[in-house]
Structure 1
Amino acid sequence: MKKIAVIPGDGIGKEVVAEGCKLMDALGVSYQIFNYDADYWLQHKQGISDQQLEELRTFDAIYFGALGDPRLPKMEHGKDILLKMRFDLDLFANVRPIQLLDVNHSPLRPEIANNIDIVIVRENTEDLYRGLGGRFKAGQIDEVAIDERIHTRAGVRRIVEYAFEYAVKNNRQKVTLVDKHNAIPNGGQLWLSVFDEISKGYPNIVGEYQHVDVACAIMVAQPERFDVVVTSNLFGDILSDLGAGLVGGLGLLSSANVNGNGIGLFEPVHGSAPDIVGMERANPLAAFATLAMLFKHVGLLDECEQLLYAIKQSISQDITTPDLDGKHTTSQVGEYIISRML
């Protein structure tokens, strides 16, 4: 029996993950809830301790909601909870599928939107997100702020290898490296040299390079040119949010944080949306899509496929929340998804 940990988090994270838990209850999938959130951080002045992290290591997957609370405007708990899990569990690959579920929810013309089927493989443990740098003379006219962009050959190598292996295992034909080596030459050249080296070992997979600004334009105008995209932490974050806007919004996007051989952390791409908490307006479909990725990770392959089909049916039947121009509540959408699974 696979072990699943659930961390609902803050805001609508609690609401949408609750719908996923109802589905697991209906399917007889067991799980254990851990309330690591803003309330916990404010009470204990810490996030996940090293001892608690060791307990989480005993699980096969973590189902996570979202973090963000107005009482912590600097997101202090985000570093101590979500980033701690990503970094200390060495979940170096953030996999974000960008797939069109219904052409009516894309701002693009149908003949363009119908070609969207991209998987973004984002390096998850380096780059600007390590928090290196600082501020000097804060608030003064000569204030200096520095953020350091960190890349290691080992880190770049393993994420590029993961992207090519993902392409092979999922019958994808192309891997595109997205970076900006003409403007950021040191890290950019490291990425490019490693990519070129690894690409030679996969003669049946097309390997290509695009600058990040050009890649954004291509995603909007010619999305069919992308298949698997591998990129750094910052650029992957930006590209996946752009992708969300092309397929209907953040309420539809799921992600997996994995390392290829152990525990995985699965979370919707959207945030905690404190402005709509308690209003039954939160879209649970991203949380359900996230749960489908988790099901695949733990070997529940039939449940994964059934859930993805139920999500598509929900959208095609307009059983959706207001962000998708629907008239249904969070729990009503959840009830529909569960009914399609049983």
Structure 2
Amino acid sequence: MRNHRVAVIPGDGIGLEVIEAGKQVLETLSQKSDDFQFEFEDFDWSSQRYLETGEYIPEGGLEKLSTFDAIYFGAVGSQEVPDHVSLWELRLAICQGFDQYANVRPARVLPGVNSRLKGAEKIDWVIVRENSEGEYAGNGGRAHRGHPEEVGTEVAIFTRKGIERIHRFAFKLAQDRPRKKLTLVTKSNAQRYGMVLWDEVFFEVAKDFPDVTIDRELVDAATTRMVLKPETMDVIVATNLHADILSDLAAALSGSLGIAPTANLNPERAYPSMFEPIHGSAFDIAGQGIANPVGAFWTAAMMLEHLGESTAAERLMAAIERLTASGLQTKDLGGTATTQDATRAICSDIEQQ
């Protein structure tokens, strides 16, 4: 019996609801497979904890987290805590602390899901986001606060090592996909130092992958291409900020933010990787039981794949597609199903297969 120790951080808002739903589905898969099991440990690292104690992560928290095989993360964000505080004190503290430099976000229209984009059925993308430096490196500051000459700086950091490893990761991913195509997203026409280095290293790495077809697109043009010519893109590699924006667009074009998954990977496996649905804390619907859990389910499938349970991952993705094709849809997709309706339906499907 294979045992997987998973740290569970539901966090804030609907993260509490969808991560609990994901745990139920993972337990059902485990029982159905009967050859692996999960050992979950819940962590109350949330904005509520921050408001009560002044910290998201307690002393020694990352050291304890490092002993797990994977992290299943819900969301962070609160109306009572400034966004930059919640992000940097929890999610980015884990991503950067564990060198999870490859953020992977697949996007496609699942069966039965409607998109507002004509031709959306042609979407089959994986967006690879550099997750450790770039525009979110955290380098900068503010001076002369409250005075007319107040200044704030935000310095994007691009290192040859950081750029090369994310490009090499993206090339390997593209190499394993049927179309073997990789699009470089850049803004080197305007950002002439870090982004020019970003481009140069990409083309150096490309020489090691002659079987991968490559092209280059400025980030503003990439948004229009995603909408007007979705079939021309496959794997997309972009910086921390650019891919953050493009992946939300990809999720919306695929039908809903509620269905989109994310993996924050440390490919060398020196640290645990973290898996999170893309939708955020969504306080406007939190506590109502109507959040779409599909993003958490798809994220769980990515976690299973990472843990070496490829058969279970395929079984879960097949169940997700049967669920969306069945017409049982949550409110974000135009339906009336609750979070628990969707959870019960997919668990029942898994048990019957």
- Compute the TM-score of the two structures, normalised by the length of structure 1: 0.95
Q: Where does structure 2 lack aligned partners over 5 or more consecutive residues?
A: 32-36
**Total equivalences in the alignment:** 340
The answer to whether the 8 Å contact 1:46/1:77 transfers is no
Report the Cα distance in structure 1 between the residues aligned to 2:298 and 2:160, rounded to whole angstroms: 33
The answer to whether the 8 Å contact 2:77/2:83 transfers is no
1:114 to 2:111 alignment = no
Query: What letter matches 1:195 in structure 2?
Result: F
Secondary structure, aligned partner of 2:188: coil
The answer to whether the 8 Å contact 1:69/1:75 transfers is no
1:43 to 2:45 alignment = no
Report the Cα distance in structure 2 between the residues aligned to 1:77 and 1:204, rounded to whole angstroms: 42
Report the Cα distance in structure 1 between the residues aligned to 2:166 and 2:176, rounded to whole angstroms: 15
The answer to whether the 8 Å contact 1:63/1:265 transfers is yes
Which residue does 1:286 correspond to in 2? 295
Instruction: Name which of 6, 16, 19 aligns with 1:17.
Output: 19
Matched ranges for 1:1-342 at <5 A: 1-26=3-28, 27-28=30-31, 29-30=37-38, 31-49=40-58, 51-102=60-111, 104-109=113-118, 112-138=119-145, 142-262=149-269, 263-342=272-351
**How large is the Cα RMSD of the aligned pairs?**
1.6
CA shift in 2, pair 1:104/1:297, >3 Å: closer
Residue 25 of structure 1 deviates from its aligned partner by: 2.6
Query: What letter matches 2:27 in structure 1?
Result: D
Query: What letter matches 1:9 in structure 2?
Result: G
State the percentage of identical aligned residues.
Answer: 41
The answer to whether the 8 Å contact 2:135/2:239 transfers is no
Residue 301 of structure 1 deviates from its aligned partner by: 1.4
CA shift in 2, pair 1:50/1:162, >3 Å: farther
Query: What letter matches 1:5 in structure 2?
Result: A
Higher strand content, 1 or 2: 2
Report the Cα distance in structure 1 between the residues aligned to 2:287 and 2:112, rounded to whole angstroms: 30
Report the Cα distance in structure 1 between the residues aligned to 2:225 and 2:26, rounded to whole angstroms: 39
The answer to whether the 8 Å contact 1:103/1:113 transfers is no
Residue 39 of structure 1 deviates from its aligned partner by: 1.9
Residue 132 of structure 1 deviates from its aligned partner by: 2.1
Secondary structure, aligned partner of 1:39: helix
Question: Which deviates more from structure 2 when the two are superposed, residues 214-223 or residues 25-34?
Answer: 25-34
Secondary structure, aligned partner of 2:225: helix
Higher helix content, 1 or 2: 1
Q: Deviations over 1:148-207 (max 9, x none)?
A: 111111000000000011122344411111011001010111011100100011110012
Residue 128 of structure 1 deviates from its aligned partner by: 2.0
Q: Where does structure 1 lack aligned partners over 5 or more consecutive residues?
A: none
Question: Which deviates more from structure 2 when the two are superposed, residues 268-277 or residues 168-177?
Answer: 168-177
Secondary structure, aligned partner of 1:131: strand
CA shift in 2, pair 1:149/1:310, >3 Å: same
Q: Deviations over 1:84-116 (max 9, x none)?
A: 11001000000000111147521112xx21210
Report the Cα distance in structure 1 between the residues aligned to 2:141 and 2:233, rounded to whole angstroms: 36
Report the Cα distance in structure 2 between the residues aligned to 1:261 and 1:40, rounded to whole angstroms: 32
Residue 43 of structure 1 deviates from its aligned partner by: 2.5
Q: Deviations over 1:200-226 (max 9, x none)?
A: 111100122110011111100111111
